[in-house]
Amino acid sequence: MLPENGRTAEDLLAELAALKEADLPVHGGKVTAYVYDTGRAEVREAAARAYLEMLEVNCLDPTAFPSIVELEKQVVGAVAAKLGGGPGTPGIFTSGGTESIMLAVKSARDARPVARPRLVVPVTAHPAFHKAAHYLGLELVTVPVDTTTFRADPAAMEAAIDEDADSTVLVVVSAPSYPQGVIDPVPQIAALASARGIPCHVDACVGGWLLPWLRDAGEDVAPFDLSVPGVTSISCDLHKYGYAPKGASVVLYADESLRRHAYFASAAWPGYTVINSTVQSSKGAGPLGGAWATLQALGESGYRELAVDAVAAARKLIAGVEDIPGLRVLGSPDASLVAVASDDPGLDVFVLSDKARDHGWLIQPQLSFPGIPANVHLTLTGVSLAGVDALLEVLAKAAAEAREAGPAALPDGLVEALLELDLDTVDDAGFAALLASVGADPAAEPGGGGMAVVNSVLDALPPQTREGLLIRFLSSLYRAFA
């Protein structure tokens, strides 16, 4: 409810501080997902001040606010220069990886109109491609990856494309893929797509602003960017390893005509002329200002140092995991994303994740997939090197505690009942009781309770059922706090 009279800024900020007390920490490296921290207060301050400076500027009309045109040109140009583009490489600043991917898919679809457009992706491609296919009306074709390396298989991708090459409008690879942090064989897959006249998008949302700096520092980085023949677009999130405030990504195109297909214009109404470069129309320029300031405040040497530190932390983590009984790293990560699974049936990685949370660390669980066991995922950043020894101690302690506790126990008959449940007809009270049975009460104190049973239940269900449950849970979460 709104107050009758306005409140003071001090009062409002005090309430925000109280609300954030249950949040995970966004600095310090104990949250190994979601947040990216330079550990440099002066960079954060520059970004915050630039963000606020541009807060009220509306990116809807670049002719009214020419500052946004200049800032976007500088940001896109900086990204293009590191990702194989030359001067004038066309690109768009977006709100995040999902929007960058959405625009890449739209460009490909509109550049090659067909009756039933297909989007061919490895199973490790980000769910943003599933979302884009759903929103934009494409058939999504998912292709199994090599279950030893977890990289896309060129032969399998080629076979999937050739099932209907005439209708395939885009082929996707990742650099790296998020689940196991490995780079797909971009040159081979881009070449086979190009030979059929099909665009190839590289999802470098997570690695696009990490891999170039590693390459500059002398690391052997597999080819992945616009310099690779056949690559027609690439996405790169600046709010990940660019360390910019959230809401900052770039999608680049190999040529201007493809970028124009990302745009939307409408003059078929009696109001103002509508022309949008992104999915959003009105949008604040704060993220653009924050990204620009972060890039300028860190500079090339800052990014090289952060990239080297992040990968050094990952390598130290990988070596340390070998000394923890029952745990192993999946694949050979090419960046600073690491997935850890268990070979010990008595060591449940979902319980391990809960135990680590009890010690103040968030280690992200990932459900199993055909050929890929359940695991936990860790994203290491610029600040992680200083804390990797503490992280390894927590992993070892959490693994021992998880082994002692044993695997999460599923309520008898619950999985079978969920498979038969019609989620569209069950009422809120019934769904709340279902959540309570696995210890997931959305009305409980935020951050409380473990998730091992919930994740184990989800892991035992097919993806479609998982998705239905997750949607109902999200609905319940916001209803509970309304």
Does 447 score more than 50 pLDDT?
no
Please report which confidence band the pLDDT of residue 319 belongs to, taking 50, 70 and 90 as the band edges: very high
Please report which confidence band the pLDDT of residue 480 belongs to, taking 50, 70 and 90 as the band edges: low
pLDDT above 70 as % of the chain:
97
Does 441 score more than 70 pLDDT?
no
Average pLDDT over residues 191-215: 98
Average pLDDT over residues 467-481: 83
Tokens of 33: 């997902």
pLDDT at 429: 80
pLDDT at 421: 87
Does 482 score more than 50 pLDDT?
no
Question: Hey, which residues does 36 pair with through a beta bridge?
Answer: none
Alpha carbon distance 274, 130 (integer Å): 28
Give how far Cα 433 sits from Cα of 40, 446, 474, Å.
46, 18, 15
Give me the residue label for tokens 């660019």: 242
pLDDT tens-digit map of 145-155:
999 999 999 99
Tokens of 471: 């949607």
Lowest-pLDDT range of 28-42, 90-104, 289-303, 417-431: 417-431
* Average pLDDT value for the chain: 94
The reply to whether omega before 176 is within 30° of 0 (cis) is yes
Tokens of 158: 């080629």
When computed from its CA atoms, the radius of gyration of the chain, rounded to whole angstroms, is: 23
pLDDT at 448: 45
Q: Of 196, 235, 228, 208, nearest to 107 (Cα)?
A: 235
pLDDT at 432: 79
The secondary structure of 99-145, three-state, reads: HHHHHHHHHHHHHCCCCCCEEEEECCCCHHHHHHHHHHCCEEEEECE
Contact of 291 with 275, CB cutoff 8 Å: no
Contact of 231 with 202, CB cutoff 8 Å: yes
State how far Cα 475 lies from the chain centre. 22
Give me the residue label for tokens 């029952």: 326
Q: Of 406, 401, 435, 402, nearest to 418 (Cα)?
A: 435
Angle at 340 between CA 202 and CA 149, to 5 degrees: 45
Does 290 score more than 50 pLDDT?
yes
pLDDT at 446: 45
At 46, which amino acid appears? A
Give how far Cα 67 sits from Cα of 54, 285, 289, Å.
9, 9, 10
